């Protein structure tokens, strides 16, 4: 495929939305053709996922991760792959490493890996890494209410899962996300310019 596929991953509140938006702006200012997208998507499947995360709809962990993977397959077919074929730079706020890192807290890692094994590998996976204490403080000062995944001990496991997975998949880079928004953005640009 002609385009480039950039993914942001990390625990809740690590700054994925902040940094993916800044990167989109930066690349657009260079005159590049960019699609910023996210998971879960705004499709019907994404709606089910959000309802489950808010505990408005009760389901099991394996169903939730199957839904995330189904949402991803739909996302790839409808948006990501067509945009890459058009030569766009696609930036996704979360992708399959999230399913594995969050899911493996309760479920078998190998099952989650196999569920996601057919999906295309991104050109760069940027893992925003920071202690959950800091990410929780950020969430508390910016949002109302906590979702299913946001407790410190659990986030610590997920953080370690991302670090472990970064060694098992190609093109993964870890950035210290406890730094300022501007400093993290500079490091993101450094990485991205290497592949463009």
Ligand X SMILES: Nc1ncnc2c1ncn2[C@@H]1O[C@H](COP(=O)(O)OP(=O)(O)OP(=O)(O)O)[C@@H](O)[C@H]1O
C-alpha triplet 26, 173, 68: angle, nearest 5°: 85
Say which entry of ligand X, Mg ion, none residue 117 contacts (CB below 5 to 8 A, set by partner kind). none
Site pattern 31..70 for ligand X (x: CB under 6 A): ----------------------------------------
Q: Which of 138, 129, 122, 131 is nearest to 175 (CA)?
A: 129
For Mg ion, the closer CB: 117 or 180: 180
One of 6, 18, 107, 165 touching ligand X (CB under 6 A): 18
Q: Which residues pair with 163 in a beta bridge?
A: none
Applying the rule CB under 6 A, the residues between 65 and 94 that interact with ligand X are none
Query: What φ, ψ does residue 5 adopt, rounded to 5°?
Result: -120, 115
Say which entry of ligand X, Mg ion, none residue 112 contacts (CB below 5 to 8 A, set by partner kind). none
One of 51, 73, 181, 195 touching ligand X (CB under 6 A): 181
Residue count of the chain: 196
One of 6, 7, 9, 15 touching ligand X (CB under 6 A): 15
Count of chain residues binding ligand X (CB under 6 A): 14
**Binding window for ligand X (CB under 6 A); candidates: 12-20, 70-78, 101-109, 116-124:** 12-20
CB atoms closer than 10 angstroms to residue 94:
21
For ligand X, the closer CB: 35 or 139: 139
- Residue 14: burial class (beta carbons within 10 Å; 0-12, 13-18, 19+): buried
One of 3, 5, 6, 12 touching ligand X (CB under 6 A): 12
Task: State the chain's maximal CA–CA distance in angstroms.
Answer: 45
**Binding window for Mg ion (CB under 5 A); candidates: 8-16, 42-50, 116-124, 139-147:** 8-16
C-alpha atoms less than 13 angstroms from C-alpha of 168 in its C-beta half-sphere: 13
What distance in Å separates the CA atoms of residue 93 and residue 16, rounded to the nearest whole number? 6
One of 1, 17, 21, 109 touching Mg ion (CB under 5 A): 17
Residue whose CB is nearest to Mg ion in the complex, by number: 17
CB 89 within 8 A of CB 27: yes
Residues 6+ apart with CB under 8 A from 114: none
One of 3, 13, 40, 132 touching ligand X (CB under 6 A): 13
Site for ligand X, rule CB under 6 A: 12-18, 138, 142, 177, 179-181, 184
């Amino acid at each position: 495929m002609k385009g480039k596929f950039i993914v942001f991953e990390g625990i809740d509140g690590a700054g994925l939305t902040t940094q993916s938006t800044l990167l989109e702006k930066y690349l657009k200012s260079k005159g590049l053709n960019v699609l910023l997208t996210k998971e879960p998507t705004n499709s019907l499947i994404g709606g089910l996922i959000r309802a489950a995360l808010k505990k408005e709809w009760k389901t099991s962990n394996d169903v939730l991760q199957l839904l995330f993977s189904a949402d991803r397959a739909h996302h790839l077919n409808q948006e990501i792959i067509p945009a890459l074929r058009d030569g766009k730079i696609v930036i996704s706020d979360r992708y399959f490493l999230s399913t594995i890192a969050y899911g493996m807290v309760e479920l078998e890692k190998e099952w989650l890996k196999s569920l996601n094994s057919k999906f295309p590998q991104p050109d760069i996976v940027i893992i925003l890494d920071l202690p959950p204490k800091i990410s929780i403080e950020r969430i508390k000062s910016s949002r109302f209410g906590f979702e299913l995944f946001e407790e410190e001990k659990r986030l610590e496991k997920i953080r370690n899962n991302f670090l472990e997975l970064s060694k098992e998949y190609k093109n993964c880079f870890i950035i210290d996300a406890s730094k300022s928004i501007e400093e993290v953005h500079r490091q993101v640009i450094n990485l991205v310019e290497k592949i463009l």
